[in-house]
């Protein structure tokens, strides 16, 4: 049985509502598909989630100024970035020790509107397409995937391609 998936979406920057009115719906759909794909792969830290009844995460739709502060404070990089993931798997009790029925919080994905818009223009993608890709990317980080080594990057990018294809999007790495 697959777990229920709860996705909270917080809109911190009002510009999101105008730029992408359906951002909450798109984000939830992308995150849900990513979690299911991640659980199916049995890669990264995903196996610790096996048997959980409920998983949850937060998508935070923010702006460059707030993301710059987070990027500076948590990564030592004093500049905005497109997406930040704050995985909770390492900072909470093990999912195996959580009481039965208690949801396992995967973490938070924070996205910066201005950077996403700029990158979408530069890459000749729609904001919707680029946003979907970065939600998928951010959620994979919550599941323990990374791209520090070439083999890990290939695995992560292949999974991103698969999830995005299921959402009807082309390969985000083709120019």
Domains (range + CATH), the chain = 4-166 (3.40.390.30)
Q: For the segment 86-138, what is each residue's pLDDT rounded down to a tens digit?
A: 998 766 555 556 666 778 889 999 999 999 999 999 999 999 999 999 999 99
Average pLDDT over residues 2-9: 91
pLDDT at position 66 over 80: yes
Strands (E), 48-97: 54-62, 83-87
Q: Which residues contact 162 (CB under 8 A, 6 or more apart)?
A: 37
Reduce the DSSP state of residue 138 to 3 states and report it. helix
Report pLDDT for 93: 55
Beta carbons of 49 and 95 less than 8 angstroms apart:
yes
Q: What is the pTM of this model?
A: 0.92
* Mean pLDDT for all residues in the chain: 90
Reduce the DSSP state of residue 9 to 3 states and report it. strand
pLDDT at position 73 over 80: yes
pLDDT at position 46 over 70: no
pLDDT band at 11 (very low <50, low <70, confident <90, very high): very high
């Amino acid at each position: 049985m697959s777990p229920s998936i709860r996705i909270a979406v917080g809109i911190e920057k009002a510009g999101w509502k105008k730029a992408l009115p359906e951002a909450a719906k798109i984000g939830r759909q992308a995150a849900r598909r990513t979690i299911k794909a991640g659980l199916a792969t049995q890669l990264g830290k995903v196996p610790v989630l096996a048997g959980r009844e409920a998983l949850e995460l937060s998508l935070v739709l923010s702006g460059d100024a707030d993301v710059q502060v987070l990027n500076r404070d948590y990564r030592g990089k004093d500049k905005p970035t497109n997406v930040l993931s704050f995985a909770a798997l390492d900072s909470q009790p093990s999912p195996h020790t959580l009481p039965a029925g208690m949801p396992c919080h995967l973490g938070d994905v924070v996205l910066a509107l201005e950077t996403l818009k700029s990158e979408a223009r530069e890459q000749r993608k729609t904001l919707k397409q680029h946003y979907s890709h970065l939600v998928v990317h951010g959620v994979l980080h919550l599941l323990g995937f990374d791209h520090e080594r070439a083999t890990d990057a290939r695995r992560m990018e292949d999974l991103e391609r698969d999830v995005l294809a299921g959402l009807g999007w082309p390969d985000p790495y083709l120019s």
